[in-house]
Amino acid sequence: MLHADLDAFYASVEQLLDPSLRGRPIAVGGGVVLAASYEARAFGVRGGMPGRQARALCPALQFVGGNFREYQRLGDQVIEVLRDFTPLVERISIDEAFLDVAGSTHLFGPPPAIAQAIRQRVRDEIGLPISVGVAGTKHLAKIASQVAKPDGLVVVPVGGEQQFLHPLPVELIWGVGPAAAARLASAGVRTIGDLAATPNPYLRHLLGTAVGDKLSALASNIDPRTIERDHTASSVGAQAALGLRDATPELVHTTLGYLADRVAGRLRAGGCAGRTITVRVRFAQLRSVTRSVTLPAAICATIALTDIATELALTALRDHPDEPRISLLAVSVSQLVAQHVLQLELPLGLPDDELRPGTKAGAARSDADRSVDAIRTRFGRGAIGYAAIVFSDVRRVPEQFRELAERKSGRHGSD
C-alpha cells in the first residue's frame, strides 16, 4: 500500500507558477493561512493560522492569492500519474491518495521502486514535490508519508512495523487530534510505543470504544481497509461566516436562502436528494448548536430547503434567547438517495399532512429550480442567484474557493 501526498500543495503550486517565490516564505490566503511554504513553516507558520499571527511570526512572509483553478488542474494531473501505475487509486483530497500496487509489481517492480518512480515523474512532468509512504496497510502508509515529508520516501519493511512506529508521537496517528492527544498525555501516553503498552480496556475508557479499539488495532498493525475507488458523498452542505451580526429573521432567511440554493443546486446536479436537514448556528465565542429534522421523503428543491432550514435556525435561536448575535450559519443535507430527473418531476402521491408547508413540492424539481439550473449550465453559477445581493456587505471568500472545497470531498471516480 502506498500513500502519496503533495507537499505544502497550494504554496508549492504558487512557487511553481511564479519562480520569484521559490525559496521564500509564502502563505496562500489572507485572513487565514490556507497553506504555508516550508520556508514559512520554519518560522512556525501553519495552515489554519490567522494571517495576523503568521505575519507576526514571520515578518518577511509574503501572502499570495489563490489560483484555485490551477490547484485543481495540477492536483488532477498528479492523480493521473498515479493511475498510470494502478487503477486502484483512492483519492482522499485534492492533494493525496492511497494506491494499492500489489498487482502492479510485475510491471513496475517492488512497491518502493514504484514509489520512487511516482516521485520522479511528478517532479519531472508536473514540477511539484510529493512524499510517499510505503507499508503493508493504509494507516501505516499514511504515517510513513507524514514522516517522509518534505519531498521524501519512507518504506516500512514487513516485520519492521513496531520498530518504525514505537518512537513516533501519537499525534501522527490519523484520528488523534488535540483532544485525544491531551487525554493520552494525561495518562502518560506520548509515543505509539506507549500506546502499544497500554491495555485496550484502558484506552476504551480513556477515549471511547471506537477510538480505543482503533488505536489498539493500529498498535498491533491491524488495518483491514482496502482501496475504495468510488466514494460517494453521504452529505452535502454549505456554510457562511457572518462576522458577528444581530440574528434578525431577515438575515437568517436570506443567508439560508443563499446556502440552500448552493446545496440544493449541487444535489440536483448530482442527481440526488436527501431526507435529513441539519442547520448549525454559531454564536459569539464560537459556541454553536445544531438542529435537524428527518423528513418522510427526500428533497432537493431550493425553496423547500430554504424554508425548512430557516425554521430550524429560528428554533435554535428561540432556544438561546441570551445569544442575540450569530457568527455563522450552515446547512447540510444527509440521508441521500439517488433521485433521477424523472422522479423529481413527480411530487404527487404524498398526503399533504406528511410534509410541512412549503415542502410539498420538495421532491419536485420546481420550474424555478429548472430555470436556474439551466441558466447556470450555460452561463455559470454567478449568472443568477442570491449571492451578489445578499452578501454585498459581507466579506466573502472567493467563489472559486467554495467550488474547490466542494470538489475536495466529492465523488472521486467520475473523471
Q: Give me the sign of the Cα torsion angle 238, 369, 333, 415.
A: negative
CA angle 84/88/90 to nearest 5° reads 105
**Which region among 76-84, 86-94, 105-113, 351-359 touches DNA (by CB under 7 A)?**
86-94
**Which region among 48-56, 149-157, 248-256, 303-311 touches DNA (by CB under 7 A)?**
48-56
CB 291 within 8 A of CB 330: no
**Which region among 157-165, 350-358, 371-379, 402-410 touches DNA (by CB under 7 A)?**
402-410
CB of 402 to DNA, least distance (A): 4
Of the pair 168, 181, the CB lying nearest DNA is at 181
376 is a contact residue toward DNA (CB under 7 A): no
CB 281 within 8 A of CB 326: yes
Q: Which of residues 188-227 bind DNA (CB under 7 A)?
A: 208-211
174 is a contact residue toward DNA (CB under 7 A): yes
Of the pair 80, 345, the CB lying nearest DNA is at 80
Looking up cell 442547520 gives 279
Of the pair 191, 235, the CB lying nearest DNA is at 235
Q: Which of 42, 60, 102, 179 binds DNA (CB under 7 A)?
A: 179
Which of 65, 116, 66 is CA-nearest to residue 94? 66
Amino acid 337 reads: V
CB of 204 to DNA, least distance (A): 8
Among this protein's residues, is 228 annotated catalytic? no
Residues 6+ apart with CB under 8 A from 242: 251, 255, 326, 327, 328, 329, 394
d(CA 350, CA 360): 8
Q: Which of 23, 50, 103, 199 binds DNA (CB under 7 A)?
A: 50
332 is a contact residue toward DNA (CB under 7 A): yes
**CB-CB neighbours of 270 under 10 Å:** 18
Cell matching residue 53: 499571527
290 is a contact residue toward DNA (CB under 7 A): yes
CB of 26 to DNA, least distance (A): 17
Q: Which of 59, 159, 167, 178 binds DNA (CB under 7 A)?
A: 178
293 is a contact residue toward DNA (CB under 7 A): yes
Q: Which helix (H) or strand (E) holds 335?
A: strand 325-338
Total interface residues for DNA by CB under 7 A? 65
CB of 110 to DNA, least distance (A): 26
412 is a contact residue toward DNA (CB under 7 A): no
Looking up cell 466542494 gives 406
Of the pair 177, 249, the CB lying nearest DNA is at 177
Task: List the beta bridge partners of residue 282.
Answer: 288, 328
Q: Give me the sign of the Cα torsion angle 354, 356, 362, 367.
A: positive
Q: Which helix (H) or strand (E) holds 311?
A: helix 302-319
- The length of the chain, given as a count of residues: 415
Q: Which of 227, 289, 297, 375 binds DNA (CB under 7 A)?
A: 289
Looking up cell 446547512 gives 331
Q: Is 379 exposed, middle or buried (0-12, 13-18, 19+ CB in 10 A)?
A: exposed
Q: Which of residues 337-356 bind DNA (CB under 7 A)?
A: none
Of the pair 93, 191, the CB lying nearest DNA is at 93
**Which region among 114-122, 167-175, 250-258, 340-348 touches DNA (by CB under 7 A)?**
167-175
d(CA 144, CA 132): 7
Of the pair 104, 326, the CB lying nearest DNA is at 326
d(CA 415, CA 412): 7
Cell matching residue 13: 503550486
CB of 404 to DNA, least distance (A): 8
The contact mask relative to DNA for 94-123 (x = CB under 7 A, - = no) is: xxx---------------------------
CA angle 83/89/95 to nearest 5° reads 90
Q: In what order do the strands lie in the sheet with 62-64?
A: 33-36, 26-29, 62-64
The contact mask relative to DNA for 233-272 (x = CB under 7 A, - = no) is: xxxxxxxxx-x------------------x---x------
Q: Which of 14, 39, 90, 96 is catalytic?
A: 96
Residues 6+ apart with CB under 8 A from 269: 373
Active site amino acids: 96
Give contact residues for DNA (rule: CB under 7 A): 31-32, 34, 47-50, 52-53, 92-96, 173-181, 208-211, 233-241, 243, 262, 266, 275-276, 285-286, 288-294, 328, 330, 332, 334-335, 395-397, 401-402, 405-406, 408-410
